[in-house]
Amino acid sequence: MMTSRCALVVLGLAVAASVLAAPRRVKVVHRGPLTKVIVHKGFPLRRPLPPLVVVAPPRAAVKVAPLRYLPPFIWAAVAVSVPPAGDLAWQDSEPLEKEAGWTDFTLNADARGRKLFIEIIDGEVRLNFAEVVFENGDTQVVDFAEVARAPGLYLLLDFADGRRVDHVRVLALAQSESARVALRLLK
pLDDT at residue 33, rounded to an integer? 74
What's the average model confidence in pLDDT over 108-126?
94
Taking 90 as the threshold, does the pLDDT of residue 157 lie above it?
yes
Q: What is the pTM of this model?
A: 0.79
Would you place residue 3 in the very low, low, confident or very high pLDDT band (cuts 50, 70, 90)?
low
Pick the closest to residue 127 from 73, 82, 168, 172 (CA basis).
172
Mean residue pLDDT of the chain comes to 85
3-state DSSP helix/strand/coil % of the chain, to nearest 5: 15, 50, 35
What's the average model confidence in pLDDT over 56-69?
88
Cα–Cα distance for residue pair 97/180, rounded to 1 Å: 9
Taking 80 as the threshold, does the pLDDT of residue 8 lie above it?
no
**Domains of the chain, with CATH numbers?**
31-186 (2.60.120)
Taking 70 as the threshold, does the pLDDT of residue 10 lie above it?
no
Taking 50 as the threshold, does the pLDDT of residue 116 lie above it?
yes
Taking 50 as the threshold, does the pLDDT of residue 65 lie above it?
yes
Q: Percent of the chain having pLDDT more than 70?
A: 83
pLDDT at residue 73, rounded to an integer? 94
Taking 70 as the threshold, does the pLDDT of residue 119 lie above it?
yes
Cα–Cα distance for residue pair 38/134, rounded to 1 Å: 19
Contact between 170 and 95 (Cβ < 8 Å): no
Distances (CA, A) of 114 to 19, 139, 182, 184: 56, 16, 17, 11
